[in-house]
Amino acid sequence: MRILLVNVNTTDAVTTGIVEQAAAVAAPGTEVVGLTPRVGAESVEGNLESHLAALGVLDAVLRHDGPYDAVVQAGFGEHGREALQEVLDVPVVDITDAAASTAMYLGRRYAVVTSLDRTVPLIEDRLLLAGLAAHCAAVRASGLGVLELEREPVRAVEAIAGQAAEAVARDGAEVVVLGCGGMAGLAEAVRARAGVPVVDGVPAAVTVAESLVRLGLTTSKVRTYAPPRPKPITGWPFP
């Protein structure tokens, strides 16, 4: 089985980190191939960058040369999953949906700890759109940017664990979700501090993708994610 793991930003170091975390939980025989978009921002922390990421991810997947069995979009709260589901015949899993749904197997209420406060509304909207908001106790910001999380893991653990503990004590959360692909690899340290299960979206999404492939399931094409109608699109695909 081969899974494409697509970073939503253009920073290669982030792609390397998420691939390492995905490969650590992948089943024997599963190959995880990391893709870095050639179009987009170095970190995705707002609406403009999220919409650019949707185009960058789509471009990266469509330009990939070689077979694959599933695609994982590694951006928490970002746009773009639906477009991939329209154009691909293989399963498409977003780390937001995978992390939140996994958390709901582990407790009644979960909280998300993300990067900057400006990303909180995007995540809230994404959870609502996916039908996963009812069991979300809170979405909290660590106050660190995406690249800070990747470059300063000790500081990141302190900030995330502090917000996780607050979510448990004040918001009634029973499970914590790491709300950023750049937090990959921090789950165990945060779990030790917060005292509750901590779900990392990247490993969760990879295992969900593996399960869908093994079950022989993929996106329904009868209505919402039917293939796009053929028509000229100016400037696409990118040169």
pLDDT on residue 151:
85
Select from 157, 124, 123 the least CA-distant residue to 45. Answer: 123
Measured distance CA(9)–CA(53) in Å, rounded: 7
pLDDT above 90 (res 21): yes
pLDDT on residue 16:
95
pLDDT on residue 230:
93
> What phi, psi does 140 have (nearest 5°)?
-115, 150
pLDDT on residue 184:
82
Q: What is the mean pLDDT of residues 55-83?
A: 97
Q: What is the mean pLDDT of residues 30-34?
A: 98
Select from 66, 62, 65, 79 the least CA-distant residue to 8. Answer: 79
Position 212 confidence tier, pLDDT thresholds 50, 70, 90: very high
pLDDT on residue 153:
86
pLDDT on residue 225:
97
- Which has the minimum average pLDDT: 31-35, 68-72, 180-184? 180-184
User: In the chain, what percentage of residues exceed pLDDT 70?
Assistant: 100
Position 181 confidence tier, pLDDT thresholds 50, 70, 90: confident
The more confidently predicted of residues 237 and 86 is: 86
pTM for this predicted structure: 0.95
Select from 227, 202, 218, 233 the least CA-distant residue to 92. Answer: 218
Measured distance CA(18)–CA(34) in Å, rounded: 8
pLDDT on residue 124:
98
Q: What is the mean pLDDT of residues 97-125?
A: 97
Which domains are present in the chain? Answer: 2-94+203-215 (3.40.50.12500), 97-201 (3.40.50.12500)
pLDDT on residue 57:
98
Select from 160, 223, 222 the least CA-distant residue to 189. Answer: 160
Within 10 Å of residue 197's Cβ, how many Cβ atoms?
17
Q: Please, what is the average pLDDT of the chain? A: 96
pLDDT above 90 (res 216): yes
Cis peptide bond prior to 28, omega within 30° of 0: no
Q: What is the mean pLDDT of residues 15-39?
A: 97
pLDDT on residue 182:
85
Position 185 confidence tier, pLDDT thresholds 50, 70, 90: confident
